[in-house]
Amino acid sequence: MNDTSSGASAPLPPEVLAALQRGDTIDAIKHLREARGIGLKEAKDLLDAHVRGAPAASRGLQTHESFPPDVAEAMRRGEKIEAIRLLRAHNGMGLAAAKEAVERLQETQAGLNMPAPGAMPASGRFAWLFVATMVILVIVLFLFRNT
């Protein structure tokens, strides 16, 4: 196994490093997921990059928590271009790197098949209108049938 002390902008927690040194990758992934609140694939990718000694810049940003708050909010609103612009302004990233980081996060969210916090699923937006129309129709039919 490679040296587990290779650099990263956010160092791995000590329990993750200890598990890697023991050769226990599964335990390292478990601890990393708990420590950072990230998904399985993200944790595995981070550990693989760490073991390979990949530079921190190639790891990118993985979760909303990794982004500045206004960038994360733009992502939650679905404003991809604004999120890229804000990310570039905050981190001094190039256009391609910022776009890649935002798209990676978008893919992660799509893989989870979860709407952004506060977002209403498109199929439910007008469901109440349909239900109300049907209720009114039933009442009208009931009234005209009895007269």
Are the C-beta atoms of residues 34 and 72 closer than 8 Å to each other? Answer: no
Tell me whether residue 24 is in a domain: yes
Mean pLDDT of 20-25: 88
Tell me whether residue 5 is in a domain: no
Tell me whether residue 48 is in a domain: yes
Per-residue pLDDT at 127: 77
83-96 per-position pLDDT tens digit: 889 888 877 767 88
38-61 per-position pLDDT tens digit: 778 888 888 888 877 754 443 444
Tell me whether residue 56 is in a domain: yes
Tell me whether residue 66 is in a domain: yes
Q: Supply the range of the domain harboring residue 54.
A: 14-112
pTM over 0.75: no
Our count of domains for the chain comes to: 1
Tell me whether residue 90 is in a domain: yes
